[in-house]
Amino acid sequence: MEERPKKLLILYATQTGNALDAAERMGREAERRGCSVHLLSLDQYDASCLPQEGAVIFVVSTTGQGDTPDSMKGFWKYLLQRNLSRQWLEGLNYAVFGLGDSGYQKFNFVVKKLDRRLLDLGATPIVERGLGDDQHPSGYEAALDPWMLSLWNMLNTINYKYFPSGPDFLIPYENLIAQPKIRIMYHDIDKVDSQLSTGSDLNHIELQIERARKMSAVKYSLDKNRPDCILKLVKNQPLTKSSSKDKEVHHFEFEFVSSTIEYEVGDVLEILPSQNPAAVDAFLLRCNLDPEAFITVHPLETENQLLDTQVPIKLKTFVELTMDVASASPRRYFFEVMSMFATAEHEKERLQYFVSPEGRDDLYQYNQRERRTVLEVLEDFPSVQMPFEWLVQLVPPLKTRAFSISSSPSVHPNQVHLTVSVVLWTTPFKRNRAGLCSSWLAKLDPEQRVHVPVWFQKGSLRPPPPSLPLILVGPGTGCAPFRGFIEERAIQSLIGSTAPVMFFFGCRNEDNDFLYKEFWLSHSQNNGVLSEAKGGGFYVAFSRDQPQKVYVQHKMREHSHKVWNFLSEGAAIYVAGSSTKMPSDVLLAFEEIISKESGLPQESAVRWLRALEKAGKYHVEAWS
């Protein structure tokens, strides 16, 4: 009896959605070759089943400074068990593709670790690991396209059951995207009115967010449905001078109103931003959608279970709370589906070119590099009328934005403070762009009774005990978590003895962007926790106030003897700020300081710092 073709298992771990996008694309390409696909997030898969699989494709991203995506942490912990033998995965064929950014020191660190561990456990690689790079002119797809071709060819040689007709057989593309994966149901407004009255205004906001996000077809980023609480904005204070065109930073203070959440210094606040109402209205108009319609959204595979449980929501509210129509760029698949609905021949040709191998680079330049929004793309192709089901499935999700909390709950028991830099940049074609959340926050007026939905998360900077000496490095808004650290330690010093703290801060100009100047100076004087009298120190690098650039790492080297004394006494290092070059420059400075002051060769200093990291005493929180 002829053996049935096997399903190809594709497992992904994503933080921002790129790895899911790559995994879904892989799945579509495999299906075009007649292969059935099973696509799962790693947190949905039972790792103990791995030895029973024939072939598995892993698509994983690296986040932050070489960090594992949240959805992979449980799987990775299982794989690291010591009782797993070197033969545990004998017979398993695997391939790994990583998504990373070569601007970071630990480029594609997670996929490299996964590859080594699978080899250690006896698995056999189908092809050499693929390494996608966000820095490439064509993004991660520059590596993905050739890697996939190689994968299909090699997969066919090891097991013909996956491709019954061979890897060169292709199902016509139109046959594969005949329908979206969701269905929209429209409801009679008279029948749903009674379900929508929800008591207080704040409770109503929370319920609306929960309903909309639970309905969203996007699994990977809207897992946080109901906000932890609603905060009221009580202060929005610019920290930089209005004359400073390069940089705009604001200090925000929020009060608990709906409920009080306990948090610690070093924690992170995630905010759901509001979209520009004019942009939402323009999107609804462009797509011929009725903003007043009431809808429920149903994934087709679970439609029957959800029919009775979902409360309808206004279409406009659903778009506002879940679909990023005017700040995020659509993914390549968006253009593929658009090409199916283009009625103007020249638009159809251009879209088909964009999604072809030959047009990949031009699509990247047009879309990602220019940060074209969904609304802009749709306006560029006016003949395309995509059904709302496809739009709900393919428009990038409206994501929460994360900010380091810059206050101590001990000092501000009913408040949360944030330090936010307004994100502004110019595209290659000289178009001015602004970050959705930061620019929205900057315009908020506390006098207007503003309420903001938020989620609290544990940050990567764990709160240190009062007895632990600290070396803090936080240029720019990297100082945010350390404002909370210093507030906390100042309170602790009133109760008992505390260890000394060194803080290296950096900014461009003393006059324009010396954030929280009075705060730092007050704690560095009169026996404050940053004062030299208490064994600590506060050191500022002004990068643009003299002909030669001076950064935090230069100040660290200036005080190398004191830094080494701190480290010799068991100090912990905390680094926060921009993820571009700063973390690696600071790490190199520490290596040089340890080598110079201890007399050890640089390789020994590197090992010394690695041991510090393993001991949980070298912390980095960086953002792009």
Is 15 known as a binding-site position? yes
Residue 352 is inside which H or E element, if any? helix 345-354
Q: How far is CA 281 from the centre of its chain?
A: 27
Residue pair 410/491 in contact by the 8 Å Cβ criterion = yes
8 Å CB contact between 297 and 392: yes
As a whole number of angstroms, the distance between CA 518 and CA 40 comes to: 51
For residue 237, the SS3 value is strand
**549 known member of a binding site:** yes
For residue 360, say whether it is annotated as part of any ligand binding site. Answer: no
Instruction: Say if residue 38 is exposed, middle or buried (CB neighbours under 10 Å; 0-12, 13-18, 19+).
Output: middle
Please tell me whether 543 is known to bind a ligand: yes
Q: Has 14 been labeled as part of a binding site?
A: yes
Beta bridge partners of 100: 133
Q: Is 477 annotated as a binding residue?
A: yes
Is 440 annotated as a binding-site member?
no
- Provide φ and ψ at 120, rounded to 5°: -60, -30
Flag whether 183 is marked binding: no
In the numeric block, which tokens belong to residue 623? 């953002």
552 assigned to a ligand binding site:
yes
CB 22 within 8 A of CB 144: yes
Residue 620 labelled as part of a binding site? no
401 assigned to a ligand binding site: yes
Residue 623 labeled ligand binder: yes
Q: Which residues contact 312 (CB under 8 A, 6 or more apart)?
A: 187, 192, 195, 196, 294, 295, 296
Q: In whole angstroms, what separates CA 293 from the centre of its chain?
A: 32
For the chain, what is the radius of gyration of the CA atoms? 26
Q: Tokens at residue 348, please?
A: 């159809």
17 is in an annotated binding site: yes
179 assigned to a ligand binding site: no
- Cβ atoms of 63 and 71 within 8 Å: the answer is no
Annotation-wise, does 19 bind a ligand?
A: yes
> What's the DSSP call for residue 8?
E
Q: Which amino acid is present at 218? A: V
191 is in an annotated binding site: no
CA distances from 370 to 202, 363, 382, 428 (A): 37, 10, 19, 7
Per the listing, tokens 């921002």 go with 16
Q: Where are the beta strands (DSSP E) in 5-154?
A: 8-13, 37-41, 55-61, 93-100, 124-125, 130-133
CB-based burial label for 518 (10 Å; 0-12, 13-18, 19+): exposed
Does 75 show up as a binding residue in the annotation? no
437 is in an annotated binding site: yes
Cα(284)–Cα(39) distance, integer angstroms:
32
Q: Which residues of 528-565 are buried (b: 16+ CB within 10 A; e: fewer)?
A: bbbbeebbbbbbbbbbeeeeeebbbbbbbeebbebbbb
**SS3 of 446, please?**
helix
Output the CA–CA distances (angstroms, integers) from residue 211 to 195, 204, 318, 408, 474, in the order listed: 12, 10, 9, 33, 39
Is 551 among the annotated ligand-binding positions? Answer: yes
Place of tokens 């008992």: 496
66 annotated as ligand-binding = no
C-alpha to C-alpha distances, 221 to 217, 305, 367, 376, nearest whole angstrom: 10, 22, 21, 23
Does 435 belong to an annotated binding site? yes
Distance CA 591, CA 572 (A): 15
Q: Which residues are annotated as a binding site?
A: 14-19, 61-64, 134, 371, 401-404, 435-438, 477, 543-544, 549-553, 585, 623
Q: Which residues are annotated as a binding site for FAD?
A: 371, 401-404, 435-438, 623
Q: Which residues are annotated as a binding site for NADP(+)?
A: 477, 543-544, 549-553, 585
Q: Which residues are annotated as a binding site for FMN?
A: 14-19, 61-64, 134
